[in-house]
Homo-oligomer: A and B are copies of this chain.
Amino acid sequence: MFALNMALRVKIFEVSVGHPLAILNESDARAMGILPHDRVKITHGKSDTTAFVNVSETMVQPGEIGLFEDVSKEIGVKDGDEVTVSILKPPRSIEAIHKKIKGETLSKDEIYAIIEDVVKHRLSDVEMAGFLLAEEFHGMTMEEIEYLTRAMAETGVMIDFDRPVYDKHSIGGVPGNKVTLLIVPIVAAAGLLIPKTSSRAITSPSGTADTMSVLAPVTFTAEELKELVEKVGGAIVWGGGTNIAPADDDLIKIEYALKIDPRSQMLASIMAKKLAVGADCLVIDIPIGPEAKVEDMAEGRKLANQFVELGERLGMRVQCGLTYGGQPVGHAVGPALEAKEALEALQGKGPSSLVEKSTALAGILLEMAGLAPIGGGKDLAKSILERGKALEKMREIIEAQGGDPNVKPEDIPLGEYRITIKAQCDGYVTGVSNMAVNAIARAAGAPVEKGAGVIVYWKRGAKVKKGDPLLEIFAERESKLSEAYSVATRLRPITIEGMLLQRVPSFP
């Protein structure tokens, strides 16, 4: 209703606050019918931009508009310049978000409008929260998820290879899951293309990008990723540097703040990244366990079917592996410890849980490529590993990414402050807690301090004697070691049958 324009004098605040913000004097805001959170269009000469409004009685005088760096740089204004300000109709995506909040199904255009506005920072955090919570509460049809996936891929860089592309993804939640460092070289050694983008840890002790960064740089553009893969067949890079499916970065921050993980958004987020690298065949690792993201097999099968269906809609062949997620994969948790264990496994000296899982998942891709008969993929993957071909390929990948191809496991620096926790009685290990292992490794400094982490010596079913080492904590600083030790004492990451669970009263 208020199409009124106002000419205002710019007052610059030399700082960015993470989103485009303009400050209006209360009287000007009232005169234009503008409320906090509303959007204004700010025009200066031939350039214009959108900003959100804060209203103040003191920070700017009537006739002034306060602009932060994000805005002032975009339209090239300095202190005292005059700009024209008008209230802006909310973008079309807002209406779509309100529809989704009411539980309606969105059209392709509406979903594209939302994702484009996320990428262009035209939505406030509150509006993005509205969209994600509406997804969480109402869900999305598979058609909506398809549009969401395509929109997220197409609003970023898309890569195109002239040969079929293979890829893998792990749902996450299980510590020590360094299978990518085996799968990528096995698959590439078989002559296939596998351009793997990975994330840094948000809440875990080491994301695959953190682990790989111990062996080689991981920050590359999408174009560089393409060159790497065309050269050596595979790469393991940090997705955050590539501008692939960039909407995800902003949405994940909101999900983290609200501790939600809407299924539709999870599916779209994973598949958009695969669509953007042009994946034709994809294997997805779904760990099942009480402390993993997926708690039981029925839920895992349902999720697997959703991935397969979404893949079909996107023209991608998807197979899912439901894997054991009840305890850490291998023994090592933390960037350097995991990189070391992966390198040892490539040398044929890996723990069986890591080797079996990696070759099983790699085998699925080899079968999808027609390189092995159904049921024969894992054997082929194992033979590639055992013949040293995967190690050879990994050294090529490390070299291509700018790391030392001759790195030896024993060269990798580990935290020098260490403490070993020992069994206090004889018995069988009945459980290793993912949650506790994660917490201890993070307390020790992982993933920021790469040498920090945990080695879990014995896992479920192992028979241990009193005094046997159960767990070793590595840290780069003494203060972090003692902190991690106190977390370990409190959380008791490993339980042994026959062990006293609690003593009552505690101090007899």
A477 to chain B, nearest CB (A): 10
User: Do B37 and A1 have beta carbons less than 8 Å apart?
Assistant: no
Quick one: given A59-B16, A202-B35, are A1 and B127 in contact (CB under 8 Å)? no
User: CB within 8 A of A133: which of B23, B31, B133, B442?
Assistant: B133
Quick one: given A260-B101, A439-B1, A442-B33, are A15 and B59 in contact (CB under 8 Å)? yes
Residue of B nearest to A136 (CB): B101
Binds B, one of A177-185, A250-258, A464-472: A250-258
Contact with B along A130-158 (1 / 0, CB 8 A): 10011011000000000000000000000
Question: Which residues in window 450-482 of A have CB below 8 A to B?
Answer: 479
A99 to chain B, nearest CB (A): 10
Question: Which residues in window 108-127 of A have CB below 8 A to B?
Answer: 124-127
Question: Which residues in window 404-448 of A have CB below 8 A to B?
Answer: 439, 442-443, 448
User: Do B127 and A126 have beta carbons less than 8 Å apart?
Assistant: no
The number of chain A residues touching the other chain, given as a range, is 35 or more
Task: For A101, list chain B residues within 8 Å (CB).
Answer: 133, 136, 258-260
Alpha-carbon gap, A124 to B18, bound state (A): 14
Say yes or no: is A17 at the interface (Cβ < 8 Å to chain B): yes
Task: For A323, list chain B residues within 8 Å (CB).
Answer: none
A122 to chain B, nearest CB (A): 14
Quick one: given A1-B443, A448-B30, are A126 and B254 in contact (CB under 8 Å)? yes
User: Do B31 and A127 have beta carbons less than 8 Å apart?
Assistant: no
Residue of B nearest to A484 (CB): B1
User: Do B257 and A127 have beta carbons less than 8 Å apart?
Assistant: yes
A209 to chain B, nearest CB (A): 13
A228 to chain B, nearest CB (A): 25
Say yes or no: is A129 at the interface (Cβ < 8 Å to chain B): yes
Alpha-carbon gap, A439 to B448, bound state (A): 56
Task: For A17, list chain B residues within 8 Å (CB).
Answer: 17, 21, 54
Q: A125-B125, A127-B258, A130-B258 are in contact. List 20 more A-B contacts (CB 8 A).
A: A1-B443, A1-B483, A2-B442, A3-B483, A13-B15, A15-B23, A16-B56, A16-B59, A17-B54, A35-B253, A35-B256, A37-B256, A101-B259, A124-B125, A125-B126, A126-B129, A127-B257, A129-B130, A133-B133, A137-B137
28 A-B contact pairs sorted by A residue (CB < 8 Å): A1-B443, A1-B483, A2-B442, A2-B443, A3-B483, A4-B479, A15-B66, A16-B56, A17-B54, A18-B36, A18-B54, A31-B448, A33-B442, A35-B256, A36-B253, A37-B256, A37-B257, A98-B259, A101-B136, A124-B257, A125-B125, A126-B129, A126-B257, A129-B133, A130-B133, A133-B133, A133-B137, A137-B137
